[in-house]
C-alpha cells in the first residue's frame, strides 16, 4: 500500500465525506492507471487524482520539463477516462505531492492554467502548503476520533495524535 495514496483517500473519506474511493484504477487498453478516484454519487461529482509521494521533491524523468509533461499526460488520460466512465458528471482533477521545489511548482501552476484554458479542465495542484493544510485537517480530525478506520495512514495519525507521554 502506498501511504501517500492512503492519506489522500482518508482526506476524501473523512474530511470531504466522500465514502467511495478507488485506488490504482487501470485505464482501458493498458495505458497505465489512475492513482485515486473519489466518487460522490449524490452530487454527480468525480475527482481523479495523481499522487506523487516523493519526499525529496517531485521529479520524473530527466528534469522539471519531463515531469510537467508526464503530469500533463496523466491528467489528460484521466480526463478521457472521466468522460468515458462518468459522462454528464462534474469532473475534477488533482495532482497531490507533499514536496515540490519552486521551479517545479511554477511549471505545475502554468500547467494548471494551460489545462483549464485549452481543455476546460478543473485542475488543482495540491502541493506543498496546500498538501500540508489538508494533512493538518486530517490530524485535527484524528485527534478527535477513537474508532478504528479502514485507512492505515489515518490510523497512524490517530495513534500519533493520542500518544500519552506520562
pLDDT at res. 13: 97
- The yes-or-no verdict on residue 111 having pLDDT over 70 is yes
Q: State the pLDDT at residue 30.
A: 62
Pairing of strands 45-51, 90-97: parallel
Instruction: Report pLDDT for 10.
Output: 97
**Cα 100 to Cα 76, 96, 103, 113, 145, distances in angstroms:** 21, 10, 8, 17, 31
Strands of the sheet containing 90-97, edge to edge, are 20-26, 33-40, 45-51, 90-97, 123-127
pLDDT (average), residues 101-110: 98
Q: Which residues contact 152 (CB under 8 A, 6 or more apart)?
A: 1, 3, 6
CATH architecture of 3-161: 3-Layer(aba) Sandwich (3.40)
pTM exceeds 0.85, yes or no: yes
Q: Looking at residue 129, what is its pLDDT?
A: 98
Query: Could you tell me what percent of the chain has a pLDDT over 90?
Result: 89
* Interval 49-96: pLDDT, tens: 999 999 999 999 889 999 999 999 999 999 999 999 999 999 999 999
What pLDDT is attached to residue 29? Answer: 62
Mean pLDDT, residues 110-133 = 97
Q: Please compute the mean of the pLDDT values over residues 101-121 and round it to a whole number.
A: 97
Does residue 166 carry a pLDDT above 90?
A: no
**20-60 confidence digits (pLDDT tens):** 999 999 987 666 899 999 999 999 999 999 999 999 999 99
DSSP string, 99-133: ---HHHHHHHHHHHHHHHHHH---EEEEETHHHHH
Average pLDDT value for residue range 131-152: 95
Domain boundaries, the chain: 3-161
Q: What is the average pLDDT score of the chain?
A: 95
Amino acid at each position: 500500500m502506498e501511504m501517500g495514496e492512503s492519506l489522500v483517500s482518508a482526506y476524501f473519506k473523512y474530511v470531504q465525506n466522500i465514502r467511495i474511493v478507488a485506488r490504482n484504477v487501470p485505464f482501458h487498453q493498458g495505458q497505465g492507471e489512475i492513482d485515486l478516484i473519489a466518487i460522490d454519487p449524490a452530487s454527480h461529482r468525480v475527482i481523479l487524482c495523481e499522487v506523487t509521494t516523493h519526499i525529496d521533491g517531485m521529479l520524473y524523468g530527466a528534469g522539471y520539463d519531463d515531469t510537467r509533461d508526464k503530469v500533463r499526460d496523466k491528467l489528460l488520460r484521466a480526463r478521457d477516462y472521466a468522460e468515458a466512465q462518468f459522462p454528464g458528471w462534474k469532473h475534477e482533477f488533482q495532482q497531490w505531492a507533499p514536496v515540490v521545489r519552486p521551479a517545479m511548482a511554477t511549471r505545475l501552476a502554468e500547467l494548471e492554467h494551460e489545462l483549464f484554458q485549452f481543455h476546460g479542465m478543473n485542475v488543482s495542484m495540491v502541493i506543498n502548503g496546500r498538501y500540508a493544510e489538508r494533512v493538518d485537517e486530517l490530524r485535527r480530525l484524528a485527534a478527535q476520533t477513537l474508532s478504528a478506520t479502514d485507512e492505515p495512514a489515518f490510523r497512524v495519525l490517530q495513534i500519533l495524535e493520542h500518544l500519552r507521554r506520562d
